[in-house]
C-alpha cells in the first residue's frame, strides 16, 4: 500500500486493513501520465453500513 500511495495523484486518508478487498480499475490516460498512458483507480470494498 505504501507504493500505491507514493504514486497517487490524489491523497486520501483511507485506512486499509489486512484482509480487505481492493477493487482496481485501469484505463488509458495520456493527460495525467504522458509516458505510459495509464490511470489506475483503487477502492476498498466495504459493506454499505460501514460507509455511512
Domain boundaries, given as residue ranges, for the chain: 2-47
pLDDT of residue 1: 66
HSE-up of residue 7 (Cα within 13 Å, Cβ side): 10
Per-residue confidence at 52, pLDDT binned at 50, 70, 90?
low
Cell readout for 36 is 505510459
pLDDT of residue 40: 87
pLDDT 10s digits, 3-51 = 777 777 777 788 888 999 999 999 998 988 888 888 888 889 988 876 6
Q: What is the pTM of this model?
A: 0.63
Amino acid at each position: 500500500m505504501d507504493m500505491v500511495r507514493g504514486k497517487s495523484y490524489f491523497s486520501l486518508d483511507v485506512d486499509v486493513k489486512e484482509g480487505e478487498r481492493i477493487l482496481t480499475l485501469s484505463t488509458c490516460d495520456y493527460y495525467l501520465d504522458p509516458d505510459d498512458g495509464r490511470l489506475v483507480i483503487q477502492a476498498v470494498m466495504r459493506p454499505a453500513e460501514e460507509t455511512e
